[in-house]
Amino acid sequence: MMVQKLSGITLLLLLCQHACFLSASHKKSLICEGGSAYLSCDSGYIHVLNANYGRTDRRTCSTGRPPAQLSNVHCFEETSLRTMTVRCNGRKSCSVSAVNSVFSDPCPWTYKFLQVSYECRPLKQSITCEGTKSVISCGKKGVIAVHHANYGRRDLGTCPDNFVTRSDCYFTQTSSMRSRCNGKRTCDLDASNSVFSDPCRHVYKYLEVTYSCSFPSVHTFNMLVQKLSCIILLLFLCQHGVEAKRTVACEGKSVGLSCAFGLIKVIKANYGRTDRTTCASGKPAHQTSNMQCFRGTSLRTMSTRCDGRKSCSVPAVNSVFSDPCVGTHKYLDVYYVCVNKGALRRNQISASDSVHSDPVTVSISTGK
């Protein structure tokens, strides 16, 4: 009733109160090479949104440095996001050194800096010490959606042991735990080497899992898919803990969409360019300067090729989308959700369908 009666603007303002995509809630950390980035959450748990160890301008961390160490402003370490995710996601706080030994060196002789954006998410957490078992459960509150999992040791205080001297045992199990637990009301956890293998011998480990429970009203979702704009739909999904999966492919590569549970429903897509950093490695400045590059038919193209399928692959090329900005190096940016089996049509989800609360996962297929 409320969705039917409220105006679009009023509804948008209401949803914005709880929206997870709003940049105002994002925190940022910037540290020069040789220092350490410190991320923390007073409430909730860390979720890294973006990261780069390199250099993208001449001003940041430039004091006392010769021009030769500042001239390369297209310095990107493409594994930066993964490194920060493995070390920090699902924690209350973390410290990561901005050094080549952690990130490797994307541009020798350039003085670099580490730039990170993250947010604090209201998630649940489970800790299972090595050699024990536990259960995570959502009960009647919905189904499990794993946000991050690690089997190893990321601090000295959790599951304490007199012989523990290492806290740098990173063995991400996010994909594995999503396969085991996502979409279930309860899930058994077994913190043992026989299940996950032994990533660090002679270290007493633990399995840490951060997850959420949610299951939006099917009727409300159906109505929103039919009547609301893409932006309002994204805000609604965030309000209810259902986050769009995201995948990005640089021009010339392909995006791959997949659903472990249910079928694909694309909710946002653009083939073009909206920032200077994505897919910019090795590209001249004039090919990344146009940040107003949009292909209006991108969503329709992706929906036609992917909606209702378990998986799909779409090339990010002009022959598929046409060229919205000649001379600009583009990328294909896609958001989608996974919907249960049912009569899924291009712009309509049947009342028998439901949406899985699948955490945001960002994958980038790069082209040089």
Given a cut of 90, whether residue 161 has pLDDT beyond it is: no
pLDDT, average across residues 209-217: 77
User: How many angstroms separate the CA atoms of 347 and 74, rounded?
Assistant: 40
In this predicted structure, the answer to whether residue 243 has a pLDDT above a threshold of 60 is no
80-88: average pLDDT: 93
What pLDDT sits at residue 233? 57
Report whether pLDDT(362) > 50. no
Place of tokens 């899924």: 344
pLDDT number for residue 366: 52
170 pLDDT above the threshold of 70 = yes
pLDDT digits (tens, 9 = 90+) for 304-343: 899 888 899 999 999 999 999 999 999 999 998 887 755 3
Question: Which is nearest to 366 in space by CA: 329, 339, 327?
Answer: 329
Q: What is the mean pLDDT of the chain?
A: 81
Confidence of residue 165 (pLDDT cuts 50, 70, 90): confident
Residue 103 pLDDT: 95
- pLDDT mean over 230-243: 53
- Rounded mean pLDDT of 132-138? 95
Residues sharing a CB contact under 8 Å with residue 59, sequence separation 6 or more, in sequence order: none
> Which whole number is the average pLDDT over 235-240?
52
Determine what percent of the chain is predicted with pLDDT higher than 90. Answer: 56
% residues pLDDT > 70 (the chain): 77
Six-digit token string for 196: 């996950």
Cα distance between residue 61 and residue 75, in whole Å = 14
Model confidence at 1: pLDDT above 90: no
242 has a pLDDT exceeding 60: no
Whole-number pLDDT of residue 344: 47
pLDDT of residue 317: 94
R_g over Cα of the chain: 22
pTM for this one? 0.57
- Give per-residue pLDDT as tens, 85-123: 999 999 999 999 999 999 999 999 999 999 999 999 999
pLDDT interval class at 292 (50, 70, 90): confident
**pLDDT top residue among 11 and 213:** 213
Amino acid at position 4, single letter: Q
